Amino acid sequence: MSLKFDLIKTDGNARRGRVHTAHGVFETPAFMAVGTAATVKALTMEQVAATGTQVILGNTYHLMMRPGGDLVERMGGLHKFSGWTGPILTDSGGFQVMSLSNLVKMRPDGVEFTSHIDGGIKHFMRPEDSVHIQHQLDSNITMVLDECLHLPTTRARAEKNVDMVTDWARRSRDAFVNRDGYGIFGIVQGADFPDLRERSARALTEIGFDGYAIGGLAVGEPQEVMFNMIATTTPHLPTDKPRYLMGVGTPLDILGAVERGIDMFDCVMPTRAGRTAQAFTRHGTMNMRNAKFRDDPSPLDDKCGCPACKLSRAYLHHLIKCNEVLGATLLTQHNLWFYQDLMRDIRDSIEQGRFQEFKTEFIKNYTGEK
């Protein structure tokens, strides 16, 4: 395995690191912009890069459905196809097992998807198939195929899930083609049962991966439960490998997860919010449809350097009210810029040994609580 991770500094359980890939380096803790279908919605790849984003995420299921792994491979891989030159991680399709559950049939050897596009054609995906498609996509970080469970669930269902995804992880690892600057991550499951999380983490560590993800969280459970499962899991993961919390999340979720030893994050929240008139700022979120911004000359966030913050709230409100595409583009780029500024500040605070101080100060400003 040849994906290199440097652990540069720790501050309590918070970690400052660096991941080396065939398409460049990214600094951790890192937030990955979600580019499900080879596009970060509403932005060009140049606009994504301008936010400070260093790594993006694609989705194996959606890219399998269209345009197809074979076509992307003929186009030279996802980097050349999309125009993104930096590192790419691809989700395996495991989340769609949950999100498209009405179109899914589970089998011991894989998943049968009924097309969400036309409702007719069926596609069967084994762990080996998911890894092969991700190889066609030329993904720097391949994720093993797993099954993401709804919470709450029964212990018997969670045990069955852990056993199955452990077997699938081993099969995925065996199918992965080792090459310089590429790696494969295992995914810890176990629902909200601490002993099952530990069992899953130990089993994956025994198999051996370039990194380890924590899946099956941020699916509706209380934040306290999510934090407890992270704190339960991370002590059983290798310290010299990156740790990825899948599908998270809000700025406060990210701070709490970094505090518990997580290195990598992804979430559709900043881009989806940008397309629905929501702006993240250091003083909380703003709904730019709100009439109070109609004649507000101030910027969204006076500490942000993005293009949207060179304009007035009044102008952004105008764009949103007129349903102008530019409004969605500006707010999406702003939100990613905000997230990347947050990650940079987190990294700096860990290097300086003041993460807890930064976390307290950020939360105070963001929530308005004294």
By annotation, the residues acting in catalysis are 91, 266
Identity of residue 242: P
Q: Is 4 helix (H, G, I), strand (E, B) or coil?
A: strand
* Close Cβ partners of 163 (under 8 Å, ≥ 6 residues apart): none
Q: Where are the alpha helices (DSSP H) in 59-211?
A: 60-65, 69-74, 78-82, 94-99, 127-137, 155-175, 194-207
Task: Please give the Cα distance from 358 to 354 (Å, whole number).
Answer: 6
Please give the DSSP secondary-structure letter assigned to residue 217.
Answer: -
Identity of residue 271: T
Closest alpha carbon to 280 in 261, 257, 308, 260: 308
Cα separation values, 235 from 71, 104, 178, 204, 206, Å: 41, 34, 27, 13, 15
> Please, which residues bridge with residue 191 across strands?
none
Task: Please give the Cα distance from 139 to 131 (Å, whole number).
Answer: 10
Task: Please give the Cα distance from 298 to 100 (Å, whole number).
Answer: 42
Closest alpha carbon to 31 in 246, 332, 308: 246
| DSSP letters for 184-208 | EEEEE--TT-HHHHHHHHHHHHHH-
Is residue 245 within a helix (H) or strand (E), and if so which, with residue range?
Answer: strand 243-245
CA dihedral (286, 289, 293, 297) positive or negative: positive
Please give the DSSP secondary-structure letter assigned to residue 302.
Answer: T
Identity of residue 340: Q
